[in-house]
Structure 1
Amino acid sequence: MVFKYECCMNCAPTVKAALQRACPGARIDELSRGSKVTLDLSIGNPARAPKGSLVDMAFNALKKSAPHGIVGIRPRDGLFKCSKC
């Protein structure tokens, strides 16, 4: 399962850097569609991860270091977005 994070072109570089800091070594794939960018992070789906698991801890670190808030679009499917976009 992959954590998908959707944001706009303007904040994508900042968000990607924050993702890399929060989850060092995790693979991040970038897909651009129009003015939106989807970043796929191979940490698993935080909505399905048990509390205290590695995925849960990585997601909490991500929430703290992301430049904008994180909003769930379809959390059960691992799809989240930037609250600013």
Structure 2
Amino acid sequence: MTPRFAPGVRLHEDKARGRTVVMAPERMFVPDEIALAVLRLVDGKRDEAAIVAALAAQYDAPEEVIAGDVKALLDDLATRGALIRG
């Protein structure tokens, strides 16, 4: 599956607070550094496996360990309406 941000949802650099947030209509999510690393790879072109592979290479970690965390994060944000998994 290829995740993408739902309409009206985007990553936003909050310069006043020095952090990146997920902006959605009438709500905002503040991702931690791990979630942010995943969300920066959500571009509507990479599928979940490509995101996992990129993170495994970046952090020199086993894909099978990363895959569970990535799936949980993407599932949670899809449930909240911030992501679409197509």
Give the TM interval when normalised to the shorter protein.
0.3 to 0.5
Would you tell me which structure has more helix in proportion to its own residues? 2
Q: Which structure has the bigger radius of gyration?
A: 2
Would you tell me which structure has more strand in proportion to its own residues? 1
